Amino acid sequence: MYFGVDYYPEHWVYPYAGTPELPESRWERDVELMVQAGVNVVRMGEFAWGLYEPEEGQHDFEWMRRAMDLFGKAGIKVVLGTPTAAPPIWLAKKHPEVLPIDERGLKQHEGTRRAYCMNSDVYWDYSKRLIRALAGALGKHPQLIAWQVDNGLGGHDTEASFNDETRRDWHAWLKAKYETIERLNDMMGNRFWAQTVTEFEHVPMPMAAPTLHNPALVVDWMRFCSDTIVAYAKMQAELLREITPNIPVTQNLRALTRNFDHFDMAEVLDFVSVDSNAAIKSKSSELACEIDMMRSLKKTGIKTPDGDCGFWVIEQKAGNVNWQEVNSLVRPGVVRLFTYQLISRGACGVLFFLWRQPRIGSEKFYGGVLSHDGRGENRGFHEIRQMGQEIKRLDPVLRDTRVVAETCILFSHENEWNFKFNKQPNKHFNQREHVQLFYNALHDRNIPVDFARPTEDLSKYKLVIAPSLHLLAGGEADLLKLYVQNGGILVGTCNTGLVDEHHIAPDSGYPHDMTDLFGMEVLEFDPLPPGEENHLTIKGAFAATHLHPARLWCDIIEPKGCQVLATYAKDFYGGRPAITMHEYGQGKAIYVGTTSHQFFYYDMIVWLRQLCGLYPLLKVPDTVEVSMRQKENTKIYFLLNHQNSPVRISFFKPMHDFLSGKTFTGNYDLPPHGVLVLDEQSASHASP
Ligand code: GLA
């Protein structure tokens, strides 16, 4: 398993380290300390363009080669970034047209990273030239095991630019999609406010305007921007594969905060890498949800440097971040705990960001494995060194194991963009929070979850949850029907099927194309402000542990053959169905026409578990997170204590923990932030 750090050798030369005689001598000490910490890979160079090419056409890759050679002596492998995320100043001076223009028409200036328009031919040409030179110079270096293309594509809100070249590409994209101007006007609904066009070149980009742009145009614009980003990454990946065919290509993605289609991006990569901010305080189930989403981006065709089948965490924060209002220290044991959370959910490579706190630049107070002093005596270094030793023991055990889920949550970026960028019936309804309610209920009951887009083959899942697919293509609805027809259990929820892929509302009832599947029709929907609630009267199908509110959104449902599982308690739709179930083919389609508090989802999952024959991985106290990786006959369980206090676990048979090498019997108090990695035979005997 690869275990490493993100290293910036260019930061550690004289006068920031080393001596005038030996300006790079600090590198040797870094390598020594890395070896002590169990590091076997470093990622480097993702922002080094201005040093590789200080003047146009004057390349210098030798300093990086010297760093790679040094790592070679210590057996440490290297991932190189293509440094296109940070264009050199001379390029912006010579070609100011590469600088991105924002939605107000204002130029974003040079002097930082990400200052480029991804539709710029000039930028593409310069990127290609640089990548050819880099791969030509260092691509055959024996230490090189992977390329990272660019860095954080779309980060700092750079998904869209409004340059002339963007406009040109936008119009070409529209022409390819709609073919004729009549079709474009019809499908986009341009008759509204009479915004019809007579030429493709007249279609606006959604720049700052007095009021709302056409929502169909906005969704198309997001699709176009996403295609642009993916095309830029693809261009780099293909070029690298041409020059170094055996070196896999990755990209550092962030858990779906950036506005491009991450599933599309994963397709152009050999393996997915992620940046994790796990070290900042957040709920373990929210982090777990993000990890499961990222793991799910690429389910097949994975090619990692060592042939393992998971994803990499190419930036696991080694300590505090620097971008919160207050950047508190990360408590002892927490980086380790969250690193195991990533591994437990399928990571097969982990690199810490960053090796040492930089003495220069805007990230100097970011937590590093080493602190500014570089002595290797700090708390963070000890914690990561401990992990380095543990990973060596775990490596053979985890090799080729993967997370297997029988439950899936559907997620579509187009739908997400519609929620984010178009006006909604209820601005307080947040789809990600809605997804999280279902996810928490599954997570807290230790049921593994995958994510998928609605167009994937869902047949391997016993349960598919489709939360609020407001924008749903007709083809997607057909695939969901096929899934249920063949015996699947589908849970749809309110705010689904209100528009199709063209952002046209159905004239055949909501949810569009699925009223037959759910055996009902949503006649009206009632968005509620926060604090105003209806209540659910559960009709006996599942046990209610609490009085469950109906919040934010109430669908008024007309049953058409479905069974009614719950009704609303009051208002003019009191007594009307709120939750329904319909047999369709071999399967069942359940519809929840509202949102509720977390307890409702717990109750629902208890019921769904029985309905679908889903079993929790292990019975342990609620505060312990459990996940499992498996292959053939091997099942490895991870138990993580996210609490600040010990949790008692009872073992009725002796159990073997791979981390400590100890065998536990009877009661064991898992310490605060403690981690166990257990083998299957023993683990199956654990109980609360
Ligand atoms: C991203 C980038 C890193 C660093 C961190 C800081 O992860 O890839 O270079 O800037 O953000 O949050």
Q: How far apart are CA 529 and CA 261, in angstroms?
A: 31
Which protein residue's CA is at the shortest distance from atom 12 of ligand 1? 321
Amino acid 623: pLDDT: 86
Residue 58: CB atoms within 10 A of its CB come to 8
Mean of pLDDT values over 16-40? 98
Amino acid 459: pLDDT: 98
Tokens representing 161 are 């630019």
Does ligand 1 come within 6 angstroms of the Cβ of 641? Answer: no
Does ligand 1 come within 6 angstroms of the Cβ of 152? Answer: yes
Provide the mean pLDDT of the chain: 95
DSSP string, 610-675: HHHT---S----TTEEEEEEEETTEEEEEEEE-SSS-EEEEEEEEEEBTTT--EEEEEEEEPTT-E
* Contact between residue 552 and residue 426 where contact means Cβ atoms under 8 Å apart: yes
Residue 479: CB atoms within 10 A of its CB come to 14
List pLDDT tens digits, range 485-510. Answer: 999 999 999 999 999 999 999 999 99
List pLDDT tens digits, range 618-630. Answer: 778 888 999 999 9
Which atom of ligand 1 is closest in space to residue 151's alpha carbon?
8
Q: Enumerate the β-bridge partners of residue 638.
A: 627, 677
List pLDDT tens digits, range 535-551. Answer: 999 997 788 999 999 99
Does ligand 1 come within 6 angstroms of the Cβ of 250? Answer: no
Which atom of ligand 1 is closest in space to residue 254's alpha carbon?
7
Q: Enumerate the β-bridge partners of residue 559.
A: 520
Kindly tell me if the per-residue pLDDT of 529 is higher than 70: yes
Q: How far, in Å, is the centroid of ligand 1 from the Cα of 98?
A: 22
* Contact between residue 250 and residue 270 where contact means Cβ atoms under 8 Å apart: yes
Which protein residue's CA is at the shortest distance from atom 1 of ligand 1? 152
Does ligand 1 come within 6 angstroms of the Cβ of 40? Answer: no
- Distances from the Cα of 302 to the Cα of 77, 130, 307, 546, angstroms: 20, 27, 8, 44
Does ligand 1 come within 6 angstroms of the Cβ of 83? Answer: no
Instruction: Report helix, strand or coil for 481.
Output: helix
Ligand 1 pocket test, pick from 363, 364, 366 with the greatest ligand atom count within 8 Å of Cβ, gives 363
Tokens representing 625 are 């997170």
The pLDDT-based confidence of 686 (bands split at 50, 70, 90) is very low
